[in-house]
Every structure is written in structure tokens, then in C-alpha cells.
Amino acid sequence: MELVEAVATVEDLDGFVARLGEIGDEHGVAVQAFDARYVVDRAHLERAVELADRAIDRGENVARERSVEILLYAAGTRQIDRALAIGVSEGECPAVVLVDAGDGDGTGAEGDAAAAVRDVEGSATLEPTATLGEFDPDRVREFFDVGDAELDAVEGTLADVVRERVALLDVEK
């Protein structure tokens, strides 16, 4: 899995998403863009990829496309419309774009696809900037419905609770 961190300026969301899909198809990888304000850390996305792949292998996936299944797990929901809220939107926002070959040995394809993502132009521009781990705690708590009582009851952090939500999605099916 490769992650492209950037500040995204998206002028045409449909065009940007279509271009990411084309890059994925050209390189045989899944490409999914996230609003980095919702991504608590790398482990959040690694777990989403792992569980999405397991669902696909078992024939339990909800989405037809692997990249969308990864989005669902990262969002901790089986509702595509709700999951899209943690994707990028038009305008400027911190972003992290996940590129994953799914075979555990896709470094070449992943690297080439990640380079293509970094060079994307037209519907969006990506300005390389560290964004992973710069999540918005209030936004994350609201999206994942994490209240004070839950945070007080766990020994971990907000990031731990979010990673638990990702894992629990598999149990809730």
C-alpha cells in the first residue's frame, strides 16, 4: 500500500474520481482518495484494506469495486452514500490517496500508480504536503459517533476507537 499525501484542490469531483479510476485500471491497483481530516493514521487504512480484501475473498463485499469496498471499511459503514462523506470533495482539503495492488507484492504497480496520482492534472491538483495523522478530532468524533462516555471508558485513544469501528463493521454484517 502506498499513500499519497497532499492538499487537494478539486475543481471537478466527478472528473477527479474518474481519473483516479483510470489510473487504477491502467496499473491494476485500487485507488481511493480520502479527506485526511477523517483518517486517524496509516493503520486505519491498512485495516480497511485488509478487511475489504477479506470480504471480497469471501464474496461478502457490498461494492463492486475494490476501492469503494475499502472506502466502506475505512468509514465503518456499509452505506456507500455515508462513506462518501470521508472522501475528498470539491474545493481545497487535506487528502490522502490510497494506492494498493491487493496482492501483497505490488510495489512496482503501486509506485507507478502513486506517481501518476501525484501528477494528476485537469480536474484537480495535488500539492504534496504531509496530511496523514492531521485528522480533525471533532469531525472524526461526529462522523464515527464517538461520545465522551465511550472515550472515557476505553484505555486507548480516539484513533483506537476508530480502528475498532473499522473492525466491528465486519462483525455487524
Q: What is the pLDDT of residues 120-165, one digit of tens each?
A: 988 899 999 999 988 999 999 999 999 988 888 888 899 999 998 8
Residue of 79, 80, 81, 74 whose CA lies nearest to 37? 74
**Mind listing the pLDDT tens digit for each residue in 66-84?**
999 999 999 999 999 999 9
Mean pLDDT of all residues in the chain?
92
Whether the predicted pLDDT of 11 surpasses 80: yes
C-alpha cell at 100: 494498493
As a whole number of angstroms, the distance between CA 62 and CA 68 comes to 9
Q: Do residues 159 and 41 touch, judged by C-beta distance below 8 A?
A: yes
Indicate the domain borders of the chain.
2-172
Q: Do residues 157 and 66 touch, judged by C-beta distance below 8 A?
A: no
Percent of the chain surpassing pLDDT 90 = 80
Q: Cell match 482518495: residue?
A: 33
CATH class label, 2-172: alpha beta
What pLDDT was estimated at residue 167? 86
**pTM assigned to the model:** 0.92
